[in-house]
Every structure is written in structure tokens, then in C-alpha cells.
């Protein structure tokens, strides 16, 4: 039999759901009494992947596809049941009926349809390439000898059936459980599972966040070998300086972070040299301690990001790394990767240098204290005052320059729920942007751009952060609202970043400011990681990356390794050469995990907001209409809690939905409700389990 036929036959027969490496395929062929070398097998497998008859699922493993020419990507299911598969050819829309047995997060193969759907190119899932989850969290229900787990995650549309006759644990109806899947769903059959863990009743303290953690498949504990390997690492600053690392320990350096920060991965220095400003951005040198392929790296790779839930942080790296030897703690010598930038009076980078360094942070500042000093004085010492006041002027110039080229500058508000010891919510603290936060943001953006441009000009393999142009369909709602509020700019189809910036500037200080910012953000595509050069719409940048947070973001750690190898001329040497070959799936994975983390963070906060508002049933609050549909309108309160006023509760008239103007209007009295309108509402119901608030008009 021809080698390619033999390899495909073996791949189809023995790969299972995990796929096989070239070595495993060659070994299986040898066991069958024939012979194909591993190198030949690898070459053929690569050819299969290029032709579309197989797909690489990561770590050099290949899986045969049932048909040629299929598109492969990760499935993201909407809570309404339909989904999109992100592929190299773009996002493919999948109807609910065409999802089959696939589940949210699965890597799937899609057959494209010839007709284009209104939501874009459409397709049908014909094969699950790799399953994303092995368990489901949900509410247990008992029906005789059969148990059913109803997923708490609305993106999981299939219940899991439990055979109670052989179950070792039988929960009570209403308890939240974790079910391990033993048979995945198909077009015809339901999923089957066994009870693995009983979390408790939905209203028990702590269960709400545990549900979110399990819905998103987040890792809460580090394996013992990872923790052991991390804790075995030691500081080696003096030895590294002897090997030639740049010694910047005498340079006055500060960190500026949130007051509750536990790890510090960036620090700032600033000097005036020959009439120019020299800005130094020092980033924790995590790559020195976490090489590609180590057990710590493999765990960080799977996590891809730290997750900041309402009541805890799930770090990407073990604490000994993230909070101790990598963290740029004050008064302690640390290894860093430095970006040194010489700026002219207009904020343009005239010269730069990138190099590994050794630093010592002299001060640990938080945003609040820096803002107090900038507003009213009282700096702790003259050197800190010089650095911070100069830094504010430099950051303002950088900001003006970025906005002038079209960079978007949204006025966002972050809601942080303060919790009691038992996890119950006490209050909502709103955090707005300040000069202090903007200073750090501008410095990090500039450093990221310098690294991205450097690697682009070097034609080196690279991870970029891209932000594609807005979806024209998503801009329709924005255009309607701009007309309703009589904005001077109303046509946003095909608009440049500068046009968006003018809208944001016009909205500043107006009652609908938060709504306009929110609608524009929703209209924009998600930023994501890719292994090719692309522009960043929101920053109006032609080359951008993430370099400045390697303690909490895996793409930054990859960039550090690539940059170090490029500077040393070792891009073709191991282990970086092997890592560079896998950038495509690594960027896809990191983008997906970033979305999962953001979703988990938002949902954990929303749960606590709902729990907080449950203490205010019957009370009235002012809010603004943030969404309108045929079934009612969504209203956001000042504390960012959002609830629904259902049309059934609007008893003063019969309301119809104007889809073109996103408005509800009363047939008899003519009362209208539209996006951005201020209303007063009364809290009538709150369900933490459903993450739902119900309002009525007061």
C-alpha cells in the first residue's frame, strides 16, 4: 500500500479524539508489520493538513477529517442557541439545528453553505475534532430512576442524563452538581454522565462563583509537580549581571498599580537627556524562569491568562513566580525586560533600545495615592514628585498624539463589588479612569507598539494583537441612536477611528455618554491574537502586540521569548524554533481563553450585583435604557446593575416595538421609550441562579 494511503488508514483507525503524532502513526504502522519512517510520516501528515484531509490539533497531533475541504475552528455558542466557528477564513455562522452534537468551546469541522446568511457566511458542523470539556455543571433533577443535569451555562444547550441505578452519589433535586460526560451528545442521542461532585444548593454561600468557575472550565489548583517546579526556582540577579545583563538597579524606578494588586509586572523610570525625555518601561522577565516546554509553561499555556473573579484571582502562574520572584516588588532586585524610548517634544519615538535588565523598584505607588498627589500635592519626596509630574506631562503628550491619529478613548467605568467575609456583597465601588491610570496606559501602549514595530521590521515570527474594522450590521443601531440624539455625526458605516473619536468626544459629559460609549464598544469587533501582522482599529495602530503583562497573559510570555531570540540571533534554535511553528493554534487558544476569562469575570460580578439588589426589592432607582426589544427594555442603574422591564409589567398602555428606531411606543397614549432615555424603576425580582433582575417602571 502507498505510504500516504497507509498513513491515512492508520490515522482514521487509531487516532481517536486526541489525534496522533507522526511518531505514534509510524509506530502503529510498524506494529501492523509494515514500515514508514517518522520523518516521511510527518511530511505526509503536513501535506494532509494543507490539503484539508486532516487537521493539526496542537502539540504535533493530527486528526483525519471525514471530508476534504472542511474549515476547522473553535465553536462559540450564543445563549440563544446559534453559534459561530472562528476559522482562518473568518467567522462561520452556525444555526442551532446545524450544531449537532457539538458543544460550546469544541474544535469542529464545518462544511460551508453556498448561500450567505444575513449574519454572514453560514455552515454546518459535520465533525467534532476536539472536545473542550469533559464535565458539565448544572441543576440536578430526579425523574424516577433517571437523573437529569440541566446546564447552568445557557451556551450548553444539551441536558446530561444520569443512570441512577449505578450511581454512587444521588443528589437532591435542586442541588448544583458537576457531571462527568461519559457519552457526548449526537444529532439523535442525549449526553450521558455520572455525578462527580455536589456543590450544594444554589443559594448557599460560595456556590454561585463555583458555578461560574466550572462553566468556563477554569483551573483552580496547580498540579503538585508544577508547584514544586515553581518553588524550586531562585533569584539569580547577580549572576545574570555578570553574564552581561544591563544593570539598571541605580535608576530611580516606581510601580503604579491598583491598591489591591498582588503582583507587579511593570515599572517606570523617566529622565531628561539632552533636552529629550527618556522613558523606560521595565517588564518582569518571566521568560527567564519559565522556558518553553517546562511543566510550569505547559500549565500556563493551558490557562493562557489570569482570571480576576469577584472574590478571588485564578493566576496563570504559581504564587512563588507571580507574587515573589517575578513580581517587581519595592526594594528588591529583579530581572526585567526593558524598553528604553527617547521621545521628542511631540511624543514621537526618536530612538529606542530593547534589552534584558536588572532593576530595583524604589517605590510602590497605587493609582489613588498618585492621583491625590497630582491633584493636591503632598508627594512623599522630591524624586517621586519629579518623576510623577514629568510622567503626567509626557503621558498627556502621548495621549494627544494617539488621539490625533484616531485612537479611541472611551470613558469607561469599572464596577467592583466589595464583599463581606462570607462572600456576600456589601456595596459597589465604581472606578473611573484618572490621570494616574492613563499615565500607565499610555506608557504600556507605547512600549507594546515599539516592540511590535521592531519585530515587524526584523521580519521575525511574532504574536500580534489585532482589532478589525467594525461590523457594518452592528453599526446600524449606533447610527439610529446618533440620529435620535441629533449628533452632528450620524453616518458611521465605514467610518474611520477618527470619526468614532469625534463621537466619543461629543458625548463627553452628556447624560447619554455611558450609553454611547457602550454601543460603540458593542459595535466594535473583539481584539484578538494572531500570528500575522494586522492593524488595530481601536488604537489606530498598524502594528501592535501585548508585551507588558507576562505574569498574567501567556501571549506576552511568547512575545518575550521571540524578542529575546531575535535580539540574540537564535530564532532558528530550539526551543524557540519549535514554539514559533505553533503560533497559529497558540494565538487561537489564547484568544478563546481570554474571552472565557472575560465572560467569567463579568458573570461573577453580575451574580453579586443581582445578590446585592435582592436586598432592595420594592425600592426605586434611577437608570437609563440600554436595550430595547419586542419583549421589553433593559435598564442599567448607576451601580451598573442591569435588569429587564418586561412589556407585561408596562400596564399603562399596549406597547409596540419599532425595530428600525429601537423604540417601544404606546398605541393609546403615545408614550415612547428609547435607548438612552432616563427612567425610574422599581426592583421587583432578583434571581442569582439565573443572573436576572426584573424591574417595573416607578
DSSP string, 547-560: -S-TTTBHHHHHHH
pLDDT higher than 70, residue 117: no
pLDDT tens-digit series, residues 225-255 = 999 999 999 988 999 999 999 999 999 999 9
| Angle CA 537–557–398, to nearest 5 | 40
pLDDT tens-digit series, residues 259-308 = 888 889 999 999 998 888 999 999 999 999 999 999 999 999 999 999 99
Say what percent of the chain tops pLDDT 70. 97
Average pLDDT over residues 445-471: 94
Q: How many Cβ atoms sit within 10 Å of the Cβ of residue 166?
A: 7
Instruction: Give dist(CA 596, CA 121) in Å, integer.
Output: 24
Instruction: Give dist(CA 22, CA 39) in Å, integer.
Output: 8
Domains of the chain (ranges, CATH numbers):
3-64 (1.10.10.10), 71-130 (2.40.50.140), 135-201 (2.40.50.700), 224-468+529-603 (no CATH), 472-524 (no CATH), 617-697 (2.40.50.140)
Q: Using pLDDT thresholds of 50, 70 and 90, give the confidence band for residue 145.
A: confident
Cell of 642: 442591569
What pairs with residue 530 in β-bridges?
464
- φ, ψ for residue 93 (rounded to 5)? -75, 135
Instruction: Give dist(CA 40, CA 5) in Å, integer.
Output: 13
Q: How many Cβ atoms sit within 10 Å of the Cβ of residue 48?
A: 22
389 Cα distance to chain centroid:
33
pLDDT higher than 90, residue 455: yes
Contact predicate 611/424, CB 8 Å:
yes
Contact predicate 247/237, CB 8 Å:
no
pLDDT tens-digit series, residues 330-383 = 999 999 999 999 999 999 999 999 999 999 999 999 999 999 999 999 999 999
Mean pLDDT over the full length of the chain: 89
Average pLDDT over residues 536-553: 95
pLDDT higher than 70, residue 16: no
So what's the pLDDT on residue 355? 97
pLDDT higher than 70, residue 47: yes
Instruction: Give dist(CA 435, CA 396) in Å, integer.
Output: 9
Shortest CA distance to 538 belongs to which of 410, 371, 399, 356? 410
Instruction: Give dist(CA 398, CA 435) in Å, integer.
Output: 13
- Coil, strand, or helix at residue 483? helix
Average pLDDT over residues 8-19: 75
Element (H, E) at 384: helix 382-404
Average pLDDT over residues 179-201: 89
Burial class (CB in 10 A: 0-12, 13-18, 19+), 497: buried
Average pLDDT over residues 523-543: 90
- 206: alpha, beta or left? (left if phi > 0; alpha if psi -120 to 50): left
Instruction: Give dist(CA 249, CA 328) in Å, integer.
Output: 12
Instruction: Give dist(CA 366, CA 372) in Å, integer.
Output: 10
Instruction: Give dist(CA 37, CA 469) in Å, integer.
Output: 47
Instruction: Give dist(CA 141, CA 147) in Å, integer.
Output: 6
pLDDT tens-digit series, residues 393-419 = 999 999 999 988 888 887 777 889 999
Cell of 315: 493566576
Average pLDDT over residues 514-539: 86
pLDDT higher than 90, residue 71: no
Please give the sequence-ordered ranges of beta strands (E in DSSP) within 24-145, or none if there are none.
54-58, 61-64, 71-77, 83-87, 90-94, 107-117, 120-130, 135-143
pTM of the prediction?
0.84
Instruction: Give dist(CA 600, CA 306) in Å, integer.
Output: 11
Q: Using pLDDT thresholds of 50, 70 and 90, give the confidence band for residue 479.
A: confident
First to last CA, the chain: 78
Identity of the highest mean pLDDT range in 474-478, 626-630, 692-696: 692-696
pLDDT tens-digit series, residues 561-578 = 999 999 999 999 999 999
Amino acid at each position: 500500500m502507498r505510504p500516504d494511503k497507509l498513513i491515512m488508514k492508520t490515522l482514521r483507525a487509531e487516532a481517536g479524539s486526541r489525534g496522533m503524532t507522526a511518531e505514534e502513526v509510524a509506530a502503529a504502522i510498524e506494529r501492523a508489520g509494515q514500515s514508514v519512517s517518522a520523518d516521511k510520516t510527518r511530511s505526509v501528515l503536513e501535506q494532509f493538513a494543507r490539503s484539508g484531509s486532516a487537521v493539526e490539533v496542537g502539540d504535533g497531533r493530527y486528526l483525519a477529517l471525514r471530508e476534504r475541504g472542511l474549515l476547522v475552528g473553535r465553536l462559540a455558542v450564543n445563549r440563544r442557541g446559534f453559534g459561530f466557528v472562528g476559522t482562518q477564513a473568518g467567522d462561520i455562522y452556525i444555526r442551532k439545528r446545524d450544531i449537532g452534537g457539538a458543544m460550546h468551546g469544541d474544535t469542529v469541522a464545518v462544511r460551508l453553505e453556498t448561500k450567505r446568511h444575513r449574519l454572514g457566511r453560514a455552515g454546518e458542523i459535520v465533525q467534532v475534532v476536539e472536545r473542550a470539556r469533559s464535565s458539565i455543571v448544572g441543576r440536578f433533577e430526579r425523574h424516577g430512576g433517571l437523573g437529569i443535569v440541566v446546564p447552568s451555562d445557557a451556551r450548553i444547550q444539551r441536558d446530561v442524563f444520569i443512570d441512577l441505578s449505578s450511581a454512587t452519589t444521588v443528589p437532591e433535586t435542586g442541588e448544583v452538581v458537576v457531571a462527568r460526560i461519559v457519552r457526548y451528545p449526537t444529532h439523535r442521542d442525549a449526553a450521558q454522565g455520572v455525578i462527580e461532585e455536589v456543590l450544594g444548593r444554589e443559594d448557599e454561600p460560595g456556590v454561585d462563583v463555583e458555578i461560574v468557575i466550572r462553566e468556563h472550565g477554569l483551573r483552580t489548583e496547580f498540579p503538585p509537580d508544577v508547584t514544586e517546579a515553581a518553588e524550586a526556582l531562585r533569584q539569580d540577579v547577580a549572576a545574570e549581571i555578570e553574564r552581561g545583563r544591563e544593570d539598571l538597579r541605580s535608576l530611580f524606578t516606581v510601580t503604579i498599580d491598583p491598591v489591591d494588586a498582588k503582583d507587579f509586572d511593570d515599572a517606570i523610570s523617566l529622565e531628561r537627556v539632552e533636552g529629550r525625555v527618556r522613558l523606560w518601561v521595565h517588564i518582569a522577565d518571566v521568560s527567564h524562569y519559565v522556558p518553553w516546554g517546562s511543566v510550569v509553561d505547559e500549565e500556563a499555556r493551558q490557562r493562557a491568562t489570569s482570571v480576576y473573579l469577584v472574590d478571588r484571582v485564578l493566576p496563570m502562574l504559581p504564587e512563588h513566580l507571580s507574587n515573589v520572584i517575578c513580581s517587581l516588588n519595592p526594594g528588591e532586585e529583579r530581572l526585567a525586560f526593558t524598553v528604553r524610548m527617547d521621545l521628542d517634544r511631540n511624543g514621537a519615538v526618536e530612538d529606542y533600545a530593547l534589552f534584558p535588565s536588572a532593576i530595583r523598584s524604589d517605590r510602590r505607588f497605587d493609582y489613588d495615592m498618585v492621583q491625590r498627589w497630582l491633584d493636591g500635592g503632598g508627594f512623599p519626596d522630591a524624586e517621586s514628585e519629579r518623576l510623577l509630574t514629568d510622567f503626567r506631562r509626557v503621558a498627556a503628550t502621548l495621549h494627544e498624539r494617539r488621539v490625533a491619529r484616531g485612537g479611541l478613548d472611551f470613558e469607561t467605568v469599572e464596577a467592583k463589588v466589595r464583599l463581606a467575609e462570607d462572600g456576600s456583597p456589601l456595596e459597589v465601588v465604581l472606578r473611573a479612569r484618572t490621570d494616574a491610570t492613563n499615565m500607565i496606559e499610555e506608557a504600556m501602549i507605547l512600549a507594546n507598539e515599539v516592540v511590535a514595530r521592531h519585530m515587524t521590521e526584523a521580519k521575525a515570527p511574532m504574536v500580534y494583537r489585532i482589532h478589525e474594522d467594525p461590523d457594518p450590521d452592528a453599526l446600524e443601531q449606533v447610527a439610529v441612536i446618533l440620529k435620535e440624539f441629533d449628533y452632528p455625526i450620524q453616518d458611521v458605516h465605514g467610518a474611520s477611528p477618527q470619526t468614532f473619536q469625534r463621537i466619543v468626544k461629543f458625548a463627553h459629559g452628556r447624560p447619554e455618554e455611558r450609553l454611547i460609549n457602550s454601543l460603540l464598544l458593542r459595535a466594535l469587533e473583539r481584539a484578538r491574537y494572531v500570528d500575522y501582522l494586522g492593524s488595530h482599529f481601536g488604537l489606530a495602530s498598524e502594528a501592535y502586540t501585548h508585551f507588558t503583562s507576562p505574569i498574567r497573559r501567556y501571549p506576552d510570555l511568547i512575545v518575550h521569548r521571540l524578542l529575546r531570540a531575535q535580539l540574540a540571533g537564535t530564532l532558528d534554535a530550539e526551543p524557540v524554533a519549535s514554539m514559533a511553528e505553533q503560533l497559529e493554534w497558540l494565538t487561537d487558544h489564547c484568544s478563546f481563553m481570554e474571552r472565557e476569562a472575560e465572560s467569567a469575570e463579568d458573570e461573577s460580578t453580575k451574580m453579586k450585583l443581582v445578590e446585592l439588589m435582592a436586598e432592595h426589592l420594592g425600592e426605586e432607582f434611577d437608570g437609563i435604557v440600554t436595550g430595547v426589544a419586542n419583549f421589553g427594555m433593559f435598564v442599567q442603574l448607576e451601580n451598573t446593575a442591569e435588569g429587564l422591564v418586561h412589556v407585561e409589567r408596562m400596564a399603562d398602555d399596549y406597547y409596540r416595538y419599532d425595530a428600525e428606531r429601537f423604540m417601544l411606543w404606546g398605541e393609546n397614549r403615545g408614550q415612547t421609550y428609547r435607548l438612552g432615555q432616563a427612567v425610574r424603576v422599581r426592583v421587583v425580582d432578583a434571581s442569582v441562579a439565573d443572573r436576572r433582575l426584573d424591574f417595573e417602571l416607578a
